Amino acid sequence: MAANLHYLHFPDQILQTKFQSKQFKPVIRSKTNGHCVVSCLSSSNGRGPGGLDDGVKSVEKLLEEKRRVDLSAGIASGKFTVKKLSFPLQLRNNLLKLGIPKVVVESLLKWTGSLEDYPRIPEAKGSISALQNEAFFLALYELYLTYGGIFRLTFGPKSFLIVSDPSIAKHILKDNPKAFSKGILAEILDFVMGKGLIPADGEIWRRRRRAVVPALHQKFVSAMISLFGESTDRLCKKLDDAASDGEDVEMESLFSRLTLDIIGKAVFNYDFDSLKVDTGIVEAVYTVLREAEDRSVAPIPFWEIPIWKDISPKLKKVNAALKLINDTLDDLIAICKRMVDEEELNFHEEYMNEQDPSILHFLLASGDDVSSKQLRDDLMTMLIAGHETSAAVLTWTFYLLVKEPSVMSKLQNEVDSVLGDRFPTIEDMKKLKYTTRVINESLRLYPQPPVLIRRSMEDDLLGDYPIKRGEDIFISVWNLHRSPNHWEDPDKFNPERWPLDGPNPNETNQNFSYLPFGGGPRKCIGDMFATFETVGAVAMLVRRFDFQMALGAPPVEMTTGATIHTTKGLNMTVTRRRRPPIIPTLEPTVQVGSLLNIPEVKTVLGQNDEVSSASPS
> Residues annotated as binding site for heme?
524
DSSP letters for 311-360: H-HHHHHHHHHHHHHHHHHHHHHHHHHHHHHHS-----TT---SS---HH
How does pLDDT run across 234-247, given as a tens digit for each residue? 999 999 999 999 99
Q: What is the pLDDT of residue 564?
A: 94
Phi, psi of 147 (to 5 degrees): -100, -10
Top-confidence residue, 612 or 191: 191
| Percentage of the chain modeled with pLDDT above 70 | 76
Angle at 616 between CA 615 and CA 617, to 5 degrees: 90
More confident residue, 319 or 5: 319
Is pLDDT larger for residue 413 or for residue 368?
413
Q: What local confidence, expressed as pLDDT, does residue 116 receive?
A: 54
- pTM comes to 0.78
Instruction: Say how many CA atoms lie within 13 Å of 204 toward its Cβ.
Output: 17
How far, in Å, CA of 528 to CA of 173, rounded?
Answer: 20
Instruction: List, for residues 196-255, the tens digit of each pLDDT value.
Output: 988 998 899 999 999 999 999 989 999 999 999 999 999 999 999 999 999 999 999 999
pLDDT at 92: 72
Neighbours of 365 (CB within 10 A): 21
pLDDT per position as a tens digit, 537-552: 999 999 999 999 999 9
Question: Is the confidence at residue 8, as pLDDT, over 80?
Answer: no
- Looking at per-residue pLDDT, the higher value among 348 and 87 belongs to 348
Q: Are 236 and 613 in contact (CB under 8 A)?
A: yes
Confidence of residue 506 (pLDDT cuts 50, 70, 90): very high
Cis? peptide before 516, omega within 30° of 0: no
pLDDT range class, residue 293, cuts 50, 70, 90? confident
Instruction: Answer whether residue 23 shows pLDDT above 80.
Output: no
Q: Which residues are annotated as a binding site?
A: 524
